Amino acid sequence: MILSALLTSVGINLGLCFLFFTLYSILRKQPGNAEVYAPRLVAEGKSQQSSNFNLERLLPSAGWVTRAWRPSEAELLSTSGLDAVVFMRIFIFSARVFTFAVIVGIFILLPINYMGKQLSLDFLDLPNKSLESFTISNVDDGSNRLWIHFSAVYIFTAVVCYLLYFEYDYISSKRVSYFYSSKPHPHQFTILVRSIPASSGRSYSETVERFFSEYYPATYLSHWVVRRASKLQGLIKNSKRLYRRLVNLKSANHDRERFGRAGFMGLFGERVDLLDHYEKKLEDIEDNVRAEQSSCLGKEVGAAFVSFRTRFAAASAIHMQQGVNPTQWVTEPAPDPEDVYWPFFSASFLKRWISNLVVVVACILLTVLFLIPVLIVQGLTHLEQLEIWFPFLKGLLRIAFVSQVITGYLPSLVLQLFLYVVPSIMIMFSSIQGYIAMSQIEKSACIKVLWFTIWNIFFANVLSGSALYRVEIFLEPKNIPAVLAVAVPGQATFFIAYVVTSGWTSTSSELFQLSTLVFNFIKRNICRKYDDEFEVPSVPYHSEIPRILLFGLLGITYFFLAPLILPFLLVYYCLGYLIYRNQLLNVYAPKYETDGKLWPIVHDSMIFSLILMHVIAIGIFGLKKLPLASSLTVPLPILTLVFNSYCRRRFLPMFKSYSVESLLKKDKEEQNDPTIASFHERLATAYQDPALLHGGYSGNSGNSASIIAPLLSTAEVDA
């Protein structure tokens, strides 16, 4: 790639970004799009858009930028929770790292690379200069100037480590103060006990009661045994869907739509009054629900939520092995009631252990072999193949422009589609693994997606060749530096372009929310559904964080190889900071909290990036015939690992659990609080399955009048 080509690409993508910004600033002012661009404000009732038409609505403006910039971190914390703050700290931290990197890289390393003569490309003028001449490949072999790169690697590592330490310290103290300022939450007082041993002639509930009132007589409060309620949940889902359809039918108010066929998909069977038909059906289901609810109460599972009087008692029960057999009475912190995720719940220790193993294997296979099916599908999208499948397109496909677009875009579209489903697959894996909370599942999926991304985007591009070839490289650790030193600089220009195209554009499209916009448009104008119950989305950390961290990895590894990548990354992080702040304030609302537990993932990823840079540096200096520098780099990864191991001892425990000091401080504060008694009462029922509490839409009396009454009233309000 030559410099002018890069500049063209930058220009195009800058243009795209501005287009997105302009469109966003116009579209967000249209009242119909409030649910797309400010669902959070709509849900909170803060959306102050008048539906009156005025000219200002059609003019682009940059007011959202200042509004996104203005709130302090404390305000962000109070509105979006600690996870959002931690998420924004990734941008702040990365911006700091790359500000330093830009200064060193652009003002010191870049001129040195450019002055080299290794690639002997100096007959070209600047715009036609290959980007290679800005990389370390252009420095002469054995040149003493490489010592500047060597020092830069050392200094950069020191700076990143200092910033990492500072950030870890900052976030862990934030976590503690967030805990101190929190109101009493059920999950702070509750533990989840699994693998309760079955004892003959006694229900699980009695066993739990007996065990905990014997061993924690002073602090044990109550318990709630988990019930197998998947059938009930299915029934309730059905009744909900029917209820929605009834609401729609009422609100449509067309007699034409009121009559239809009762059979499959409304196509078969006799014509009936759908309103009557659905009402009857809903009633049937609700009867079933009530029958199932009472039978469910008997279907106990060997797991229970056990609540204690104090946070300290709950924490001490979590940390100690309860039963003599460590595979029984397994305790873990309970998630918040809204955070509990039931579908794959399993009480048995052995079952969970096996599913854990299976998931680990599946995850490794998916990560390593992911590109194989992608390549097969990409092979199927060749022009000839398309012509055979869709003969009527033959004329169209023969047009040069169309064929170029298809051959150019289709393979990458296939890859994008495959990549798009990976986070959901990882979420599924993590939920099978036996996590009980959505937040735990998301955290675990985040780690999986991160490794997946690093392997399938970084290593797959760097080490071209079959998946097995890439795995084999890592089976011969001795050769890794040499292999990487040859392969990584070769992909510098690709990754510069990647940052500009994928990084910049994905961030601005995050602002623009194309898919939600289209979906919303279709729903309103074609399906004519005016659903009151729209859901405010939460940030999909498990797909966003790995992407942001991948760019960090690129920046750190290419810092001394191809410093030209750094300014583009800095722009990416600044853009990201602004845009995600805006989104957090307007779009996303937190559904559950991990209380900042995502930071250790960021920290580990940064350490991995540093080590990768060091390994490449060892290889590069060897390749550049400066073996002394190569050997002198060897202590650097070791020192970094030592630093990391210190951080793990110093900070990681604070992200795992709270200290006795913190727990008892909170407990003592509430000792004389009169509201704590009522909170304790509420604890007893906090963890009941919502399915068991479902009261039904048709009311308990069960007559059809009570169904129609609320429906009519909502229809009237809508009108």
- Contact residues for a second copy (CB under 8 A)? 176, 214-215, 315-317, 319-327, 329, 349, 353, 357, 472, 475-478, 642, 646, 649-654, 657-662, 664
Give the 3-state DSSP-derived string for 238-250, with helices as H, strands as E and coil as C. Answer: HHHHHHHHHHHHH
What phi and psi, each to the nearest 5 degrees, are found at residue 118?
A: -60, -45
Nearer to a second copy by Cβ, of 412 and 479: the residue is 479
Q: What is the DSSP string of 399-449?
A: SHHHHHHHHHHHHHHHHHHHHHHHHHHHHHHHHHTT--BHHHHHHHHHHHH
Q: How far is CA 253 from the centre of its chain?
A: 41
Smallest gap from residue 159 Cβ to a second copy (A): 22
CB of 606 to a second copy, least distance (A): 21
User: What Cα–Cα distance (Å) separates residue 198 from each residue in 228, 322, 502, 565, 602?
Assistant: 16, 15, 55, 61, 42
Radius of gyration of the chain (CA): 30
| CB of 673 vs a second copy, minimal distance in Å | 19
Query: Between residues 494 and 646, which has the closer beta carbon with respect to a second copy?
Result: 646
* Least Å from the CB of residue 127 to a second copy: 47
Q: How far is the CB of 288 from a second copy (least distance, A)?
A: 41
Q: Which is nearer to a second copy, 279 or 667 (CB)?
A: 667
Sheet with 220-227: strands ordered across: 220-227, 300-308, 190-194, 330-333
3-state secondary structure of 322: coil
CB of 140 to a second copy, least distance (A): 31
Nearer to a second copy, 255 or 661 (CB): 661
Which CB, 20 or 349, lies closer to a second copy?
A: 349
For the chain, the residue count is: 719
Distance in angstroms (rounded) separating the CA atoms of residues 302 and 206: 11
Please report the sign of the dihedral spanned by the C-alpha atoms of residue 546, residue 548, residue 551, residue 556: negative
Q: Are 9 and 497 in contact (CB under 8 A)?
A: yes
Nearer to a second copy, 627 or 635 (CB): 635
Minimum CB separation of residue 651 from a second copy in Å reads: 8
509 closest CA partner among 522, 521, 518, 497: 518
Q: How far is the CB of 357 from a second copy (least distance, A)?
A: 7
Smallest distance from a second copy to CB 372, Å: 20
CA-wise closest residue to 193 among 175, 210, 181: 210
CA angle 446, 450, 454 (to 5 degrees): 175
- Report the nearest approach of a second copy to the CB of residue 477 (Å): 5
Closest to a second copy by CB, 332 vs 387, is 332
Going by the DSSP 8-state scheme, the letter that residue 687 receives in this structure is: T
Q: What six digits make up the tokens of 411?
A: 């393979």
Q: Which is nearer to a second copy, 107 or 646 (CB)?
A: 646
Q: Which residue from 169, 164, 167, 181 is spatially nearest to 77, judged by alpha carbons?
A: 181
Of 253 and 321, which CB lies nearer to a second copy in the complex structure? 321
| Structure token pair of residue 145 | 């100037």
> Closest separation between CB of residue 43 and a second copy, Å?
36
- In order, the DSSP letters of 677-689 are HHHHHHHHHHTS-
Task: Kindly give the interhelix angle for 541-558 and 73-104, rounded to the nearest 10 degrees.
Answer: 20
Which residue's CB is nearer to a second copy, number 321 or number 412?
321
Specify the residue, 326 or 627, whose C-beta has the smaller distance to a second copy.
326
Tokens of 127: 């715009």
Query: Which of 75, 472 has the CB closer to a second copy?
Result: 472
Tokens 């300014």 appear where? 567
Q: Name the token pair of 450.
A: 């991160």
- E strands, 309-412, in order: 330-333
Q: In the complex, what is the shortest distance from the CB of residue 156 to a second copy, in angstroms, rounded to a whole number?
A: 24
Q: How far is 135 from 133, CA to CA, in rounded Å?
A: 5
